[in-house]
Amino acid sequence: MSAFLRDFAERFAALNKDNLELLGELYSDDVLFRDPLHEVRGLSEMRRYFSELYANVEALRFEFHGFDEVAPGEGYLRWTMRYRHPRLRGGAEIAVEGCSHLYWRERVYRHRDYFDAGALLYEHLPVIGSVIAWLKRRLA
């Protein structure tokens, strides 16, 4: 198990809307962050992205399940993200499983998240969610 990944995960899980200045302790100034919905370049853009993310949810937390270093300065974190948004699923908690692929030196300079965007967002939208549920049933 990687000490860097465990420390990163603990510090990342402690982030909230009131302490986003701590991103600079986790990420390099030239960080590239990507997930299925966004691509963000640079620490200042990342702060803006996280600020918007936390402003639009009622609750957001991460539980980390795996810390796998595959090479020096490269590894994966497996996680469950739990969040509540007032306009999704009646404000009930939504859980999404995913993983993060990280590259680091002293701090992370590349972060790519993998998760099901439908499970995160689309399945919980009133009209689109019904269509996605219907499609899933048809494909099964």
Number of separate domains in the chain = 1
The pLDDT tens digits of the residues spanning 34-48 come to 998 889 999 999 999
The pLDDT tens digits of the residues spanning 54-88 come to 887 888 899 999 999 999 999 999 999 998 877 77
Which CATH number does the domain housing residue 46 bear?
A: 3.10.450.50
pLDDT for 105 beyond 90: yes
pTM of the model: 0.82
Q: What percent of the chain has pLDDT over 90?
A: 59
Name the residue range of residue 95's domain.
3-139
Residue whose C-alpha is closest to residue 68's, from 80, 60, 59, 76: 76
